[in-house]
């Protein structure tokens, strides 16, 4: 590893100095051990003074061996640190283009076998300490990444889901008579019907924006994209045949120490990549605006229910309980939209990466993969020219069979399918919240089930333990408040995240 690091340009003077100290200490150990062994094998009897001197030499030998082991451990740690620095630099160079602008790559280099040795596994030679293996830092980093989402999930459960469930039980326990109960239930159920139409309108609106901002722009550029790809192909044909074969073997990607990484697929799709990167912020903004429109519509429906309950003739206690149930589900709906925005932002980002970055999952790579497979299956004299001709023919196709027309269609399909899956899940979650509002009202107002003997017996059994449940939930909420304060303190600049 020392030679490798020095060949990569690292100056390892410190490591060499430590190694020299290690060798010198090992030499001292050998000399001292030889002296001890000679005395032990001597046939002469030891005096007390000689025996004490021998014991002191053995103690000194143990100390010198420990010092030698320390030097070796320091040398290994120094080399590992240099290797980690080299790997981090290389990864940053390779992956920097995949990162959003202004964001740095976080790299954690770990030594699994050394960490297992710290846990008791068999290991020969110098081993790193637990901290030097990098695993504790990686664990803390992962916990730091997961903590905000876990905290939000826990907060929703503690401050919304549990209180909502207990409140629904309370409404069921305290059934009462409300004037015009059927009409009240009809009012509360109205948003369930309206939400379905709003979800469908949301899907249509996003499809329309996708067509306008992405599909039309890419369709207008089909001819120019084909022409640019042909020009790139002409330059590729000028390369040495061995270089061409190296690219084809790796599906159009190749790099060497002398040449940076190059991707033919990225060269061919330069036109589409430029359009996508230009139009994507507009699509993200349009998606956000459409989502906000849906959220305002759902909130408007729930506000109408809230206002209707406020104006309904019923006693103040009953009205307060119903309004509380509506407020809890309104908060739950708001959280659904927050989570949806975070998740869908990642979805759009991943689609853009599959447009602009060459990988096995990218759109253009999936289209050209059969061509590269056919080229790799070919062999014999003239194989390089045949491969180039095959690739050129593929790029010059026109109409619906054009590589770029197929890429545009695949992008539009992916955008619409991912959006549909995401929004329909959101719609199901919203419908569940609206059903909970309806069920809360239905549980409170008197219906024909009020005199059901089985329901009456169950209500009598639950009423005695409800207060205990409520107290327990309040305890959990207090614990959560303490946990959140602790987390916010640790997230302040300069405060290191601790493992517990």
Rounded Cα–Cα distance for residues 323 and 317 (Å): 10
Task: Report residue 408 as tokens.
Answer: 């545009």
Q: Which helix (H) or strand (E) holds 254?
A: strand 253-254
185 burial via Cβ count (<10 Å: 0-12, 13-18, 19+): middle
List own/partner pairs for 192-195 with CB under 8 A and 24 or more apart.
192/431, 192/434, 192/435, 192/438, 194/297, 194/301, 195/298, 195/301, 195/427, 195/430, 195/431, 195/434
Residue 271: CB atoms within 10 A of its CB come to 19
Rounded Cα–Cα distance for residues 402 and 398 (Å): 5
Helix (H, G, I), strand (E, B) or coil at 24: helix
CB 445 within 8 A of CB 175: yes
pLDDT attached to residue 173: 72
List own/partner pairs for 100-103 with CB under 8 A and 24 or more apart.
100/349
Give DSSP secondary structure letters for 410-432: HHHHHHHHHHHHHHHHHHHHHHH
Rounded Cα–Cα distance for residues 136 and 278 (Å): 41
The tally of CA atoms less than 13 A away on the side-chain side of residue 107 is 18
pLDDT attached to residue 209: 93
pLDDT tens for the chain, 500 residues: list them: 666 565 666 666 676 677 777 778 778 778 878 877 877 777 677 777 877 777 887 888 788 777 777 777 777 777 778 778 877 888 877 777 777 777 788 888 888 887 887 777 777 777 777 888 888 888 888 888 887 888 888 888 888 788 877 877 777 776 666 777 888 888 888 898 888 899 999 999 999 999 999 999 999 999 999 999 889 888 888 888 888 888 888 888 877 665 667 888 888 999 999 999 999 999 999 999 999 999 999 999 999 989 988 888 887 777 887 888 888 888 889 989 988 888 888 899 999 999 998 888 889 999 988 988 888 888 888 888 888 888 888 888 888 888 999 999 999 999 999 999 999 999 999 999 999 888 888 877 755 455 567 767 777 777 778 788 888 888 888 888 888 887 777 665 444 444 43
Helix (H, G, I), strand (E, B) or coil at 262: strand
pLDDT attached to residue 142: 85
pLDDT attached to residue 43: 67
Compute CA distances 320 → 10, 48, 369, 438, whole Å. Answer: 72, 95, 64, 15
Compute CA distances 52 → 28, 32, 38, 285, whole Å. Answer: 20, 15, 16, 84
What is the separation of C-alpha 387 from the centre of its chain, rounded to a whole number of angstroms?
A: 39
Compute CA distances 55 → 28, 35, 64, 110, 368, whole Å. Answer: 17, 12, 14, 42, 77
Q: Kindly report the pTM of this predicted structure.
A: 0.65
pLDDT attached to residue 498: 45
Rounded Cα–Cα distance for residues 400 and 11 (Å): 58
Rounded Cα–Cα distance for residues 483 and 150 (Å): 12
pLDDT attached to residue 119: 79
pLDDT attached to residue 33: 80
Task: Report residue 443 as tokens.
Answer: 């549980």
Rounded Cα–Cα distance for residues 451 and 246 (Å): 81
CB 236 within 8 A of CB 244: yes
Torsional class of 446: left (φ above 0), alpha (ψ -120 to 50), beta (otherwise) = beta
Closest alpha carbon to 33 in 15, 60, 3: 60
């Amino acid at each position: 590893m020392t030679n490798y690091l020095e060949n990569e340009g690292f100056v390892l003077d410190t490591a060499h100095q430590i190694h020299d100290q290690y060798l010198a200490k090992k030499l001292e150990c050998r000399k001292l051990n030889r002296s001890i062994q000679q005395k032990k094998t001597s046939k002469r009897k030891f005096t007390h003074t000689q025996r004490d001197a021998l014991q002191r030499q053995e103690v000194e030998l143990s100390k010198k061996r420990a010092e030698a082991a320390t030097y070796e451990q320091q040398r290994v740690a120094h080399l590992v640190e240099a290797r980690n620095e080299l790997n981090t630099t290389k990864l940053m160079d390779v992956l920097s283009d995949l990162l959003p602008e202004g964001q740095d790559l976080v790299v954690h280099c770990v030594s699994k076998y050394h960490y297992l040795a710290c846990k008791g596994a068999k290991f020969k030679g110098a081993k790193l300490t637990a901290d030097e293996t990098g695993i504790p830092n990686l664990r803390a980093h992962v916990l730091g990444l997961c903590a905000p989402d876990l905290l939000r999930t826990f907060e929703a459960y503690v401050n919304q889901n549990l209180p909502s469930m207990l409140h629904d039980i309370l409404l069921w326990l305290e059934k009462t008579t409300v004037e015009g109960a059927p009409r009240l239930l009809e009012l509360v159920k109205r948003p369930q019907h309206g939400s379905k139409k709003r979800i469908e309108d949301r899907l249509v609106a996003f499809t329309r924006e996708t067509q306008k901002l992405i599909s039309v722009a890419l369709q207008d550029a089909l001819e120019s994209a084909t022409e640019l790809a042909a020009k790139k192909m002409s330059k590729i044909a000028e390369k040495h045949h061995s270089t061409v074969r190296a690219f084809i073997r790796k599906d159009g990607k190749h790099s060497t120490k002398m040449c940076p990484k190059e991707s033919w697929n990225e060269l061919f799709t330069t036109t589409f990549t430029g359009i996508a990167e230009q139009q994507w912020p507009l699509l993200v903004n349009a998606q956000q605006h459409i989502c906000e429109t849906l959220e305002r519509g759902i909130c408007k429906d729930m506000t109408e229910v809230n206002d209707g309950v406020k104006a309904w003739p019923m006693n103040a206690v009953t009205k307060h309980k119903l309004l509380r149930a509506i407020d809890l589900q309104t908060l739950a709906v708001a959280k659904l939209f927050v989570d949806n925005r975070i998740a869908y932002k990642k979805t759009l980002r991943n689609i853009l990466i599959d447009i602009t970055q060459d990988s096995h999952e990218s759109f253009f790579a999936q289209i050209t993969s059969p061509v590269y497979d056919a080229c790799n299956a070919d062999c014999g004299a003239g194989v390089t020219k045949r491969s180039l001709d095959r690739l050129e023919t593929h790029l010059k196709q026109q109409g619906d069979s054009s590589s770029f027309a197929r890429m545009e269609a695949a992008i539009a399909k992916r955008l619409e399918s991912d959006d549909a899956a995401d929004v329909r899940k959101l719609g199901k979650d919203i419908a569940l919240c609206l059903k909970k509002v309806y069920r809360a009202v239905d549980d409170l107002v008197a219906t024909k089930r009020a005199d059901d003997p089985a329901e009456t017996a169950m209500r009598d059994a639950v009423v005695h333990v409800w207060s205990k449940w409520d107290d327990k939930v309040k305890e959990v909420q207090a614990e959560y408040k303490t946990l959140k304060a602790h987390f916010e303190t640790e997230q302040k600049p300069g405060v290191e995240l601790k493992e517990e």
